[in-house]
Amino acid sequence: MYRRAFRAAFPATVPVLMGYLSIGIAFGLMLEAIGYNVIWAFFMSLTIYAGSGQYMGVELLSTGAALGSVAVLTLILNFRHLVYGLSMLEKFRGMGLRKLYMIFSLTDETYALLSSARVPERVDPHAYYFAIAVLD
């Protein structure tokens, strides 16, 4: 079931992958330019699940902003993800524990793919949505 879903979802996610690669490289170069090494880029990418938050983090780190300010600004910047999750609750109904990952993994790009997704024939919709979220 999942193999078919992943095969069907992969072509839809390739354009997003290309975008992620380019903005990821730019983020790493910006972080390096202000004096932080690849370890910082790795941990920021691991903990900040939004590209806009990463770019804002680079700017705030370069100005020496307080950690509390960074946290509040990141929360405000990413508030839209709460709305994304709420609008997808019906689509994610019946997914069990996968639903938590689906809501957590909603980035702008994933939301766009999921909200416009047309599930191919003979593919379980929940498996297809999950495959998009994992591949994206």
Amino acid (one-letter) located at 119: V
Is the distance from CB of 41 to CB of 27 less than 8 angstroms?
yes
Inter-CA distances, 40 with 52, 62, 107, Å: 16, 13, 21
Percent of the chain scoring above 70 in pLDDT? 99
The pTM of the whole model exceeds 0.75: yes
**What residue ranges do the domains of the chain occupy?**
2-135
Which two tokens mark 57?
A: 């983090």
Confidence category of residue 7, pLDDT binned at 50, 70, 90: very high
36-48 confidence digits (pLDDT tens): 988 998 888 888 7
- DSSP string spanning 74-106? HHHHTTHHHHHHHHTHHHHTT-TTHHHHHHHT-
